[in-house]
A and B are shown apart, each in its own frame.
Chain A
Amino acid sequence: MEGDIAELGKFVGAGLAALGSGTAAIGVGHVAGNFLSGALRNPSAAGGQTATLFIGIAFAEALGIFSFLVALLLMFAV
């Protein structure tokens, strides 16, 4: 058998960690969608809240980036 079980584990782990990026996408979509529905209800208040929107998106995305980073580390560094 070529390779070893550690190599296999690395790739499987990287693939599983990459799923986290997808869940972060759900989170970002949730933030943006809720912002939009709120903004359509009260468009006059929406303008002042775009900064909050971006902060929320950034926090949601950072966690996805963490899982992406874990995948990269498994692929290249471990």
Chain B
Amino acid sequence: MADKAHGDEGGLAFHPMDQFIVKPLFGDGPVGMFTITNATFWMALTIVCIALLLVVGTRGRALIPSRIQSVAELAYGFIYKMVEDVAGKDAVGFFPYIMTLFMFIVFSNFLGLLPLSFTTTSHIAVTAILAMAVFLTVTIVGFVKNGVGFLGLFWVSAAPLPLRPILAVIEVISYFVRPVSHSIRLAGNMMAGHAVIKVFAGFAAIAAISPVSVLAVTAIYGLEVLVSFIQAYVFTILTCVYLKDALHPSH
């Protein structure tokens, strides 16, 4: 559809956003709620990769780990330590949840870096759900654990009294902006990186600057590998930080 619409422009045409179109995997019908789309396919591939790494990779239960088992243990230790250090010892119960988020985001990001692939985490719908899940979890846990005391998060007792209402307004706003920035950060980073790669790849159509273009794509690709991991890390660590606020709201 999109190709047809752009088809007659000719020459140097960039369609950096076409890679994000959600379309049915089989046939060319409408995208309903249960349609198997390319998003579904890449999410399923994420599940398969996580299962390969964390389940099949560790099936040996070896005392001296194989390579894949080392990677699985590394990921486990990395997230476990993060939860323990940032969110506190009593947040360990949330470890499977945080591990799920991290593994899903990191694998979606890395699978999205494959050529011709579809990046599920570049869609604001996906990251918004992830961020809203974190936001709701944190809010509910905060009220269940601390009751009304959770509202003390917004009442900065360290500040002078006249300033406190103003600070409370700012704190409330920043609290509700959290899921927005949380989701847009991830989606925006993924989208921007892929669009930039696509734009540079589009320059390769001009023979004179195609070597520069290929070099630029390579460099940006390397940067994107880094960004993919760092965004997953940042998403996870911010989840831990918010969780710490919920468990220990005293400022």
Contacts and interface: CB of A to CB of B under 8 A. Distances in A.
- A and B touching (C-beta < 8 Å)? yes
Interface of A: 51, 54-55, 57-59, 61-62, 65-66, 68-69, 72, 76
B17 A58 contact: no
Contact of A61 (B82, B185, B191, B233): B185
Contacts of A54: 230, 233-234, 237
B234 A69 contact: no
B230 to A, nearest CB: 7
Contacts of A69: 184, 188
Contact of B241 (A55, A61, A65): A55
Interface residues of B, number: 17
Interface string B156-192: 0000000000000000000000000100110011011
B199 to A, nearest CB: 12
Contact of B237 (A51, A72, A76): A51
Contacts of B49: none
Interface string B206-249: 00000000000000000000000010011001100100000000
Nearest 5 CB-CB pairs, A to B? A65-B188, A58-B234, A62-B185, A62-B181, A69-B188
Interface of B is mostly: helix
Interface string B83-110: 0011000000000000000000000000
A58 B241 contact: no
A65 B189 contact: yes
Interface of A is mostly: helix
B86 A65 contact: no
Contacts of B238: 55, 58
A58 B56 CA distance: 33
A76 B188 contact: no
A58 B184 CA distance: 11
Contact of A51 (B86, B181, B192): B86
A26 B234 CA distance: 19
A58 B17 CA distance: 24
B185 A55 contact: no
A54 B181 CA distance: 15
Given A55-B234, A58-B234, A58-B238, A68 B17 contact: no
A57 B192 CA distance: 17
A69 B128 CA distance: 15
Nearest to A69: B188
A65 B234 contact: no
A71 B56 CA distance: 44
Given A51-B237, A65-B192, A58 B86 contact: no
Contacts of B86: 51
